[in-house]
Structure 1
């Protein structure tokens, strides 16, 4: 059985694992997507998925993209995966800001009346002028530094602010962050 599983395409192995989770095979699509460079798993409404199966689905999917057709289940699954990864994300981002000497006196969102003042405090915490690279719009923040052609210079200039933003996001102080050019953030900011 182990040899048979090893010779099967990964899509088929994942599909079998999802069936073992209790999902209806006819309502599950497991397909390699070239544009995503990943396997996309689509679980349709009639697959009979439930939150009780999230752990099994997550183990079957490993690192692949999981989309549940039913929006309420998709939201619940997204919350489930965030909860799984949150402690690791906090630990990794905290280590990064600590290494850069930025953990002490780290600005907390609750101390600022609006998002613009908070992101300005994050910039100042990194030695940047408030409003120089972060833009707040509604409840979304975007990173919009002056254009830099040299990647080494870019890294040196913005390593601290990117580490700070990642930590603030991990601890829940920033919910919607993106880079200028990121359509999701642009759409969010545009709908305000």
Structure 2
């Protein structure tokens, strides 16, 4: 008779990989989140993570969400992950803005006095009235257009703007973007 070894739950596989990265198992929580159909990895302060472990943590986590109790370490990890994703994101965003005819004379942030002026130029470049969809909130641009009931017309109207925002973010010209929901902003 052959003994069958039961499969290890994915959360335990991830936890073991994180331990192999040098993290203390007691300082790592890996739980399955039914809503997102994925794992949530929380690394507590007492895990004593260093930036040198980020590559191993990323490999262990795969596509799963990683959060840190230590906000500074979490920000550093997010920046690391963003840097890894940037070349792919830039290639994808470049392909989209090229397909939509936006790549030529694309506005550069450095050419504008402030974020408000840059946002207005992005709108103009995408064929929209300046000031009609973007506004500055703090150090970011927020998408806050007038509310329309026709979802397809809305999506078509702002397709170029979303592509431009993705491209500006991928190039590093835009370091923050928010979506204002109907329930937050109300109708204009």
- Compute the TM-score of the two structures, normalised by the length of structure 1: 0.88
Equivalent in the alignment of 1:168: 168
Question: What residue ranges of structure 1 are gaps of 5+ in the alignment?
Answer: 187-192
**Deviation of residue 83 (structure 1)?**
0.6
Runs of 4+ in 1 over 3 A off after TM superposition: 34-37
Question: In the aligned structure 2, how far is the partner of 1:35 from the partner of 1:113?
Answer: 43
Distance in 2 separating the partners of 1:73 and 1:139: 22
Point out where structure 2 has 5 or more consecutive residues left out of the alignment.
Answer: none
> Is 1:67–2:88 an aligned residue pair?
no
Instruction: Note the C-alpha offset of 1:74.
Output: 1.2
**Shift, 1:10, TM fit:** 0.8
Kindly report which structure 2 residues correspond to 1:1-192, keeping only aligned pairs within 5 A, or say none: 7-181=7-181
1:182–1:165: structure 2 CA closer, same or farther, 3 Å change rule?
A: farther
What is the TM-score when the length of structure 2 is the normalising length? Answer: 0.89
* Aligned-pair Cα RMSD in Å: 2.1
2:147–2:182 contact (8 Å) kept in structure 1: no
CA distance in 2: counterparts of 1:142 and 1:72, whole angstroms: 25
> Aligned equivalents of 1:144 and 1:122: distance in 2?
14
Which stretch of structure 1 is more off in the superposition, 46-55 or 118-127?
A: 46-55
Q: 1:98 to 1:74 in 2, by over 3 A?
A: same
Q: 1:138 to 1:64 in 2, by over 3 A?
A: same
How far does residue 47 in structure 1 lie from its aligned partner after superposition? 1.6
Measured in 2, the distance between the counterparts of 1:125 and 1:60 equals 42
Alpha-carbon separation, structure 1, partners of 2:182 and 2:112: 26
User: Distance between the aligned counterparts of 1:92 and 1:70, measured in 2?
Assistant: 32
Greater shift, 134-143 or 22-31, is seen at 134-143
Aligned partner of 1:190 in structure 2 is none
Structure 1 Cα separation of the partners of residues 52 and 58 of structure 2: 11
State how far apart, in whole Å, the 2-side matches of 1:51 and 1:156 are: 42
- In the TM superposition, what is the alpha-carbon distance from 1:48 to its structure 2 partner? 2.6
